[in-house]
Amino acid sequence: MIRYALKCKSGHGFESWFQNADAFDGLMSKGFVSCPECGSGEVEKAIMAPRIRPASRAAKKPEKPDLGTPQNQQAAEMARLRKKIEAESEYVGMQFASEARAIHDGDAPERAIYGEAKPEEALKLVEEGVQVAPLPFIPARKTN
C-alpha cells in the first residue's frame, strides 16, 4: 500500500491510499480519482515528505502485552472471582432467567448457576423476588 498526498486544480489538499503506484496511475487514467471536497477530477500528486522511522525506533519492536495475564491487582482479583464462579456454578447460557425462576419456585434442584439474560428478563426476576446479580465479566464461552 502507498499513500499519496494529492491536490486538485482548486488547491484542495487530501490524501489517499493505493495498492501501488501502478494502481494510482490506472485509476487516474480512468478518471476514478477525484477531490472529496469539490469533486474535481483534475488531481495531481502533491509534494510530500517520505515517512522514515528513526533508527532507534526501527530497531525496537514494541512489546505486546500478555493478554492472558492480569495487568494489575484489580484485574487479578476479577480473574480470581471469575475462576471461582465458573468452578462452583453451572453455566446455563441464555436459559438463565427460566432456570433461576425454576430454582426459586422449587421446580428445579437448588444450585448455583450463572448465564445470560436480557435486561428486561433480569428486571422481571428481581421484581419476582428471585435473587440475581450481574457478573462483572463475559462468560468464557462468549470470549475468544
Residue 59, pLDDT score: 61
Who wins on pLDDT, 2 or 49? Answer: 2
Are residues 15 and 4 in contact, defined by beta-carbon separation less than 8 angstroms? yes
Q: Do the strands 43-45 and 90-93 form a parallel or antiparallel pair, or are they unpaired?
A: unpaired
Who wins on pLDDT, 47 or 114? Answer: 114
When pLDDT is cut at 50, 70 and 90, the band that residue 120 belongs to is: very high
When pLDDT is cut at 50, 70 and 90, the band that residue 142 belongs to is: low
Residue 55, pLDDT score: 66
Residue 56, pLDDT score: 63
Reply yes or no on whether the pLDDT at 6 is more than 90: yes
E strand map for the chain: 2-8, 13-18, 43-45, 90-93, 113-115
Number of H helices, E strands in the chain: 5, 5
Give the residue-averaged pLDDT of 21-28.
90
Q: Do the strands 90-93 and 113-115 form a parallel or antiparallel pair, or are they unpaired?
A: parallel
Give the residue-averaged pLDDT of 109-126.
93
pTM over cut 0.75: no
Domain locations in the chain as residue ranges: 2-49, 73-139
Residue 3, pLDDT score: 87
User: Exposed (0-12), middle (13-18) or buried (19+): which is 97, by Cβ within 10 Å?
Assistant: buried
Residue 21, pLDDT score: 86
Residue at 107: amino acid letter: D
Give the residue-averaged pLDDT of 125-137.
90
C-alpha 29: how far from chain center: 38
